[in-house]
Structure 1
């Protein structure tokens, strides 16, 4: 009996710690008010996000939208001027494929809300579980990550992701595009870098084949449901309708080249052009990917190769090999806290063979296109949302990035966060100077 009492006490302690830490992190950090006056940022180097760079440029935005981007010039009459000589303006970075806002502490089960029981969960919507009170988004904003694709995990069909902006009172306010994509984890034989699996290869193959058969049957049933007039509502089958009519994208996670080919052919059979996630061996089949107009979300450039026979630097070079071969790429990174390092993943890719502005595009405009929000986000163009930030240095370089101001849909957002609060707290305790 004592062990249950101890377990309950530890659970309460964990939850109370979570609540107190979260409230501390959010102290004095409230979502910004709507833009009330036109703002002109002058004298900066403007990185449009589509490969174009404007030196000594002026960017003007009003009512949350960009109204002018030009070389030279000055503040418009009546606009508040922000002088940014020698500084850089970037579009807000977009973090794809993340459980941000669905998890807070990995060791506290009550804060994990990204995985559901079962293999076929297309009815799961990550958006309604997104926690705008999480302490994590504030740390991302300080590195220019202003939007994210909140993605469920687990099972064969994990559910629908949604795209959010990272300064909101609730998930309704946060949503930029609800239910943007359905996510499939392609059934595959697991690979291990070291040692052998406890399961025989034959048993693993049988399990993979059974999962593929289940997926095939589910898609066939879902398509029949979408095309018919069912008398009884089935939420799982109904959730697939927008995948078949093209209003919701299909993201498929696959790494092995044979699995990638099988996944793309599976989607083509259902007249769907998927977005490939992972693609560790995508560089081996670039012609196939180009022929089928496949965008690849390259995951975790900072990693070891999955095969002992691969070039040890292949994860660093994979994105550049794909992009230089003409395959559209998006850069992502695993986890939720880790999303603050997304710009540095792009910087690494640039150091390993990709033009720096194309690397920037892989976390801005390319990502917006893959997520279906490119009409309003992803680049600094007239008519798009004024979601951007000013940095005193190169935002893809962890040594020089310094985000001074950031705006989401024209709102001047707070750049305070838990890390800065703790730095200030303990610097004052020991009499150190706070930068």
Structure 2
């Protein structure tokens, strides 16, 4: 009976999540000129331009300056006097579009069976009808890197833009990286195992983790030999999927936090010559010079959290970005919290400002830096001539939750709808209670 009631509850929850927003459509392609004038432009590379006009032509930024003539004919002009203009924010790693309701299994599509699945493509499972997507746009987030989970080598991620009819429309950069979820290399027994009746695997967990690392290295050695062959008698889909790691058209994203695990990531650089990105990196502050020396970038998954180790400073997660900045490491700030679902991205960056970053450095950590890490820095991440017009307009400081009110958002020059389920419910109950 309890199981039946639980299934009914989950079904109702899923139905509630599925309704609403059906009348919110992706914006049509905009051809022609578009102007954003009287703007305080935060370029994304550290510069701030006052009283500036941005000229967009066919979705690309064409001119930026204070003396741009706006024609009197039929062009779109947005006067944003007193407001702040930013590059579209980028969520560096997310299960966006792969998970809708965490407690409803039927809405979860981020994991495949097996340990080594490099040929799995997260992009084909990306659901553009997710109700979470519009809530991100309302916070200035216009691009996201959608990553797979499960096993050791989970598959490839892709960068998507958040205003699309289907995954083909959404794809901004396909298969930009392969994801390796590092096994734990620390002996940390589950204190609640006995209470919940969980049976932990026998043996030394660190030894077991190192054996799994060796298994992954063996796979990459075979894949490298395969990639070096001129012709193949048989096509191996798993080896084909990681060819880009060896010619550096793809990056290896290694999900790990502690120093021991990150040292293994350094070994991958030294042995295979891959471009490696640490995802997580909560202890990266301890080895920032080594990461810099090996050209390893870091995506800080969640700064609003407790420290990883008991002897770390309680505010260490807030200070790590500053340590990487000072060491010259390329890093990005992310929001991987399963509850906020990415919406706190600008405020995570704002917290880093309180702990030592400048506002423009923090902005760069959620715009241009992630664009470079994800391989789209030539197209987006900053408001510069020749790049896509991925632009957000805020009434105030986008890093401050009190004044971050997004009034306009443009993706490739298209003015996108900022309606979302949260706003709809707000209006619904405001009407109900006569407010």
TM-score by length of 1: 0.93
In the alignment, the residues of structure 1 paired with residue 162 and residue 361 of structure 2 have an alpha-carbon distance, to the nearest angstrom, of 24
1:114 matched to which residue of 2? 110
Question: Which deviates more, 351-360 or 183-192?
Answer: 183-192
Q: CA deviation at 1:226?
A: 2.1
In the alignment, the residues of structure 2 paired with residue 406 and residue 84 of structure 1 have an alpha-carbon distance, to the nearest angstrom, of 12
1:187 matched to which residue of 2? 183
**1:47 and 2:68 matched:** no
1:296 matched to which residue of 2? 298
Q: Deviations over 1:321-350 (max 9, x none)?
A: 111221111011114642111000110111
2:344 alignment partner, SS class: helix
User: Deviating runs (4+, > 4 A) in structure 1?
Assistant: 9-13, 190-202
Q: How does 1:324-363 map to 2 (within 5 A)?
A: 324-335=326-337, 337-363=340-366
In the alignment, the residues of structure 2 paired with residue 200 and residue 178 of structure 1 have an alpha-carbon distance, to the nearest angstrom, of 37
Q: Deviations over 1:190-241 (max 9, x none)?
A: 4659849875996112211220121121111212222233322222222111
Q: CA deviation at 1:351?
A: 1.0
Q: How has the CA–CA distance of structure 1 residues 200 and 171 changed in structure 2, closer, same or farther, with 3 Å as cutoff?
A: closer
1:427 alignment partner, SS class: helix
Q: Deviations over 1:350-386 (max 9, x none)?
A: 1111111011001000000000001111000111111
In the alignment, the residues of structure 2 paired with residue 232 and residue 11 of structure 1 have an alpha-carbon distance, to the nearest angstrom, of 46
The 8 Å contact of residues 187 and 205 in structure 2, kept in 1 or not, is answered as no
In the alignment, the residues of structure 2 paired with residue 148 and residue 65 of structure 1 have an alpha-carbon distance, to the nearest angstrom, of 20
Correspondence for 1:411 among 414, 419, 427: 414
In the alignment, the residues of structure 1 paired with residue 406 and residue 233 of structure 2 have an alpha-carbon distance, to the nearest angstrom, of 55
In the alignment, the residues of structure 1 paired with residue 121 and residue 372 of structure 2 have an alpha-carbon distance, to the nearest angstrom, of 21
1:57 alignment partner, SS class: strand
1:95 matched to which residue of 2? 91
Q: CA deviation at 1:12?
A: 6.6
1:265 alignment partner, SS class: helix
In the alignment, the residues of structure 2 paired with residue 333 and residue 369 of structure 1 have an alpha-carbon distance, to the nearest angstrom, of 18
In the alignment, the residues of structure 1 paired with residue 277 and residue 185 of structure 2 have an alpha-carbon distance, to the nearest angstrom, of 21
Instruction: Count residues in correspondence.
Output: 427
Q: How does 1:247-258 map to 2 (within 5 A)?
A: 247-258=249-260
Q: How has the CA–CA distance of structure 1 residues 201 and 287 changed in structure 2, closer, same or farther, with 3 Å as cutoff?
A: farther
2:39 alignment partner, SS class: strand
Q: How has the CA–CA distance of structure 1 residues 210 and 92 changed in structure 2, closer, same or farther, with 3 Å as cutoff?
A: same
Q: How does 1:154-193 map to 2 (within 5 A)?
A: 154-190=150-186, 192=188
Q: Deviations over 1:254-310 (max 9, x none)?
A: 211122122112232111121111112111112111111121111211110011100
Q: How does 1:225-304 map to 2 (within 5 A)?
A: 225-228=226-229, 229-304=231-306
Question: Which deviates more, 320-329 or 185-194?
Answer: 185-194
1:51 alignment partner, SS class: coil
Q: Deviations over 1:152-178 (max 9, x none)?
A: 012111110000000000000000000
In the alignment, the residues of structure 2 paired with residue 199 and residue 215 of structure 1 have an alpha-carbon distance, to the nearest angstrom, of 23
What is the RMSD of the two structures over their aligned residues, measured on CA atoms? 2.1
In the alignment, the residues of structure 1 paired with residue 349 and residue 71 of structure 2 have an alpha-carbon distance, to the nearest angstrom, of 34
1:140 matched to which residue of 2? 136
Q: CA deviation at 1:71?
A: 3.0
2:309 alignment partner, SS class: coil
Q: How has the CA–CA distance of structure 1 residues 201 and 309 changed in structure 2, closer, same or farther, with 3 Å as cutoff?
A: farther
The 8 Å contact of residues 41 and 59 in structure 1, kept in 2 or not, is answered as yes
Question: Which deviates more, 213-222 or 160-169?
Answer: 213-222
